Amino acid sequence: MPLAIYDLDETLINADCSLLWLQFLIDLGLTDPVIMDDARELDRLYHQGQLDMHDYLALQLRPHLGQTLTEATREMDRFINEYVQPRIRPSAVESIRRHKARGDRCLVISASIDFLVEPIAAHLGIDDAIGVRIELEKERITGRADGPICYQEGKVLHLNRWLEQQGENTEGSWFYSDSQNDLPLLEQVDNPVGVSPDPRLAEVCKQRGWAIVNWECVK
């Protein structure tokens, strides 16, 4: 079955779900607003392809240290409805619909935390999702990753593991992404697509004859 693989942040939504989540926690009074200054600096490094994801993960999980997953995600439905839904790109929804109508299997793969990625993917009607797995000790969040981080070459590693587990392959597959950080995975599929791509990815797409689409418009 052909796969339609999607990056999440700045691809399916016109935002970074991790930054949206931090703003949500700030708005609820659940974390100190100063955390956003650090997050924006790390986000800048991400867009330059220079981010240490362990640092970013530690920052993202700082408000949740010592919590259970249930405690950390108790307001998830509200977050998705109020903060994520308005940022979903209509063209992304149409792409998902089109691939499903063709019988393709859809998958979201993201460098964001799995407890954000999975429910957002489900909200978009996608059952399969891969995000950064977080470490738990005695069911409590430690602030560290559980295994390799799903970022850059790590996305290829996690996709290959998933393919083996699911008995799937990348024949005829598509991957949609906005970011230069996803070049390793874009190179693995038959149909790489730059979605409103960053400057470096746009240049690579033009050099290699990869498709470019503009999904900027939101409702």
Residue 142: CATH number of its domain: 3.40.50.1000
In-domain check, residue 85: yes
Q: What percent of the chain has pLDDT over 70?
A: 99
Q: Is residue 179 part of a domain?
A: yes
Average pLDDT over residues 186-204: 97
Catalytic residues: 7, 9
129, part of any domain? yes
* Cα distance between residue 163 and residue 83, in whole Å: 31
Note whether residue 219 is domain-resident.
no
Is residue 51 domain-resident? yes
Mean pLDDT estimate for the chain: 95
Residue type, 43: D
Domain of residue 80: give its range: 3-213
Q: Given pLDDT bands bounded at 50, 70 and 90, which one contains residue 217?
A: low
Q: Give the separation between CA 61 and CA 113, rounded to whole angstroms.
A: 9
Residue 60 belongs to some domain of the structure:
yes
Averaged pLDDT for residues 201-209:
98
Q: What is the pLDDT of residue 218?
A: 45
219: confidence class by pLDDT, cuts 50, 70, 90: very low
Asked whether residue 218 is assigned to any structural domain, the reply reads no
- What is the count of structural domains for the chain? 1
Residue 19, SS3 per DSSP? helix
- Print burial letters for 101-134: b (CB count within 10 Å at least 16), e (below 16): eeebbbbbbbbbbbbbbbbbbeebebebbbbbbb
- Give residue-wise pLDDT tens across range 48-77: 777 788 989 999 999 999 999 999 999 999
pTM recorded for the entire structure = 0.94
